[in-house]
Amino acid sequence: MSDLRAAALEWLAQDPDPDTRAELRAILDNDDREGLSARFGGRLEFGTAGLRGELGAGPNRMNRVTVMRAAAGLAKCLPRGGRVVVGFDARHGSQRFAHDTAAVLAGAGLRPQVFTHPIPTPVLAHFTRVFDDVVAGVMVTASHNPPRDNGYKVYWSDGAQIIPPTDAEISAAIDTIDRVDTLPLGSGWPTLDTTDLYLDAVASLDLGPPDPDLSIVYTPLHGVGRDTLISVFERAGFGAPIVVPEQADPDPDFPTVAFPNPEEPGALDLALGLAEARGADLVIANDPDADRCAVAVPHAGGWRVLTGDEVGGLLAEHILDHTTGSDRLVATTIVSSSLLRSIAAAHGVRHTETLTGFKWIMKAARPSDRLVFGYEEALGYSVGDDRGVLVNDKDGITAALTVATLAAHARRNGHTLLDLLDDQAHKYGLHTTTQLSIRATDPAQITTTMSRLRTKPPTRLGGRTVEEFDDLADGINGLPPTDGLRFRLSRRARVIIRPSGTEPKLKCYLETITPVHDDVTTTRAHAATDLNALRTDVAAMLSGAPPRSG
């Protein structure tokens, strides 16, 4: 404990933030050993997603010292004189962290340029890509994490998130930084006060005409997407969406939702209620930094929220119907639905699967490929036209516009998005997916469970035989090794299990594929029963219990 106290005192001496100094002083004065250990017993690791964690004092929290050390490490890996674009969302501390980053970068001989106002993450990714002299981008955001969190994402000059070995090189450089109060700091950097380059690029996507009469309810979930999305829709020829008033303004406390994630139960309740009251045609939601997009449609007197895989399949077909060329590539992750493979084959284009995360999707193209669409089941989509994808990361604004364009196209032909889903089921088989997450109070539980499943994998799940078992840590089909397990089951089913990269939990991805011989509604009911049986057995397997469904 004396070592932790010494580390805390050293931290106090260099911390420029009066709030975290007061927090740490109180912990020391109260001899709060648990609080001290939580903050100084470890540190936030810099990886391919940058940094993300709870706000507070110490190396295991997001704070000004952590951010300044990260910026100094990043600066060591960049060419002197290069331009770095810095953006931030509306979370607690984001703007301060952005300006601390700029000060450190400027002091290290780089040329930071900081947005004057909160922006969506895809705007930062786009600006990083379009300027020849930009060597990196930094986005201060924790995306859809709880209000107490913040984070720090790094983009390279291609506008994509960093991947190994760049992340390890930056992490090693961060480790060489001593005290931040000795770092040279710059001032007076230029700013960016407009996002017109991004707005014009999105509005110019050539994927079909708009429908100004399409009625859309939209929620930014207290995030930063509203103004950007409304501007894009109006420039593209759509009417302005109806914004959920309680969630319209940026608010770092996210007061109307338990978790500011459109995938979470209840997160879309206000939007769905407003859509029902207004008789809307479509509901669209972004997460707080607007890099993800959720969709809901009218169904059987109520509303149905589409899964990320369903939206991914619909967008893929629409984009391939509106683009040309044998060099086109569509990409997704190994945990997303296998439907994309069938769609690509039907359109005569190449398809590939990557590890989880958009950083890998954006590296999937060969020199001869033109990536026109990439997606992951967690509501992330990168949309393009014949020019290729617009943003080299997931982009909830561009995805929202493309969903509206697709809905307009279906409406002109007397169809709905649900009709299009039924059409795909008839053509490719009904691909039904779901997820299961098991949160751990102790991260060691995750390691223990993964080790147990590697040593003794199941032979049956959901009444199906496990026909193949792949340990993704060995690297398969040319993919880099990763901590994950894949089970291929009889009658075209699949289960993948992996630890979350941002939270202490195991994530499971389940898929069944059912041929549609006649009525798709009946097939959906049977598929739901099969998927629930599979989900029940996977949950039992993770708890150490035997399968329950035969």
Is residue 507 within 8 Å of 516, Cβ to Cβ? no
Residue 339, in any domain of the structure: yes
What is the pLDDT, as a whole number, of residue 323?
Answer: 98
Helix axes 196-203, 396-412, angle to 10 degrees: 30
Q: Residue 11: inside a domain, yes or no? A: no
Say if residues 50 and 151 touch (Cβ distance below 8 Å): yes
What is residue 440's predicted lDDT score, i.e. its pLDDT?
84
**Rounded Cα gap, residues 44 and 67, in angstroms:** 11
Residues recognised as catalytic = 143
Q: Is 487 in the same domain as 502?
A: yes
Do 76 and 123 lie in one domain? The reply is yes
Q: Give yes or no: residues 477 and 499 share one domain.
A: yes
- The residues, ordered by sequence, that sit 6+ positions from 34 with a Cβ below 8 Å of its Cβ are none
Using DSSP's 3-state secondary structure scheme, residue 395 falls into: coil
The edge-to-edge listing of strands for the beta sheet with 191-192 is 51-54, 149-156, 134-140, 83-88, 111-115, 191-192
Residue with tokens 């209840």: 266
What's the rounded Cα separation, in Å, for the pair 199 and 240? 15
| 8-state DSSP, 224 | S
> According to the model, what pLDDT value does residue 345 have?
97
Are 414 and 433 within one domain? Answer: no
- The DSSP bridge partners found for residue 389 are 384
When divided into structural domains, the chain yields a total of: 3
Cα torsion for 156, 44, 381, 213, to the nearest 10°?
-110
DSSP secondary structure string, 150-197? Answer: EEEEEEETTSSB--TTHHHHHHHHHHT---GGGS-------EE---HH
pLDDT at 550: 47
214/315 same-domain check: yes
Domain end position, chosen among 178, 194, 210: 194
Question: How far is C-alpha 290 from the chain's CA centre?
Answer: 9
Last residue of a domain, one of 407, 428, 449: 428
Q: Are residues 408 and 433 in the same domain?
A: no
CATH code where residue 377 lies: 3.40.120.10
pLDDT by residue for the chain (550 residues), tens only, comes to 679 999 999 999 999 999 999 999 999 999 999 999 999 999 999 887 789 999 999 999 999 999 999 999 999 999 999 999 999 999 999 999 999 999 999 999 999 999 999 999 999 999 999 999 999 999 999 999 999 999 999 999 999 999 999 999 999 999 999 999 999 999 999 999 999 999 999 999 999 999 999 999 999 999 999 999 999 999 999 999 999 999 999 999 999 998 999 999 999 999 999 999 999 999 999 999 999 999 999 998 899 999 999 999 999 999 999 999 999 999 999 999 999 999 999 999 999 999 999 999 999 999 999 999 999 999 999 999 999 999 999 999 999 999 999 999 999 999 999 999 999 999 999 999 999 988 888 888 899 999 999 999 999 999 999 999 999 999 888 888 999 999 999 999 999 999 987 678 899 999 999 999 989 999 999 999 999 999 999 999 988 766 555 4
Q: Is 421 among the domain residues?
A: yes
Q: Measured between alpha carbons, how far is 241 from 3 in angstroms, rounded to an integer?
A: 56
Shared domain for 346 and 394, answered yes or no, is yes
Residues 383 and 529 in one domain: no
Stretch (H or E) spanning 512: strand 505-514
- Whether residue 423 is found in the same domain as residue 434: no
Kindly state whether residue 178 falls inside one of the protein's structural domains. yes
Same domain, 267 and 306: yes
Q: Is the dihedral of CA 357, 362, 368, 373 positive or negative?
A: positive
CA 291 to chain centre: 7
Same domain for 424 and 285: yes
Element (H, E) at 460: strand 460-461
Show which of 363, 394, 428 is a domain's final residue. Answer: 428
SS3 call for 295: strand
Across the strands, what pairs with 156? 136
Which residue's structure tokens are 């398969």? 476
Domain assignment of residue 79, yes or no: yes
Query: Could you give the CA distance from residue 352 to residue 219 in angstroms, rounded to a whole number?
Result: 32
Return the CATH number at 516. 3.30.310.50
Q: Determine the Cα–Cα distance for residues 199 and 179; give it in Å rounded to an integer.
A: 41
Name the DSSP class of 546.
P
- Give helix 2-14 / helix 33-40 axis angle, nearest 10°: 70
On whether residue 265 sits in a domain, the answer given is: yes
**In a shared domain, residues 442 and 341:** no
Is residue 13 included in any domain, yes or no? no
Taking alpha carbons only, the member of 272, 217, 277 closest to residue 248 is: 217
Q: In which domain, by residue range, is 200 found?
A: 196-428
Is position 97 within any domain?
yes
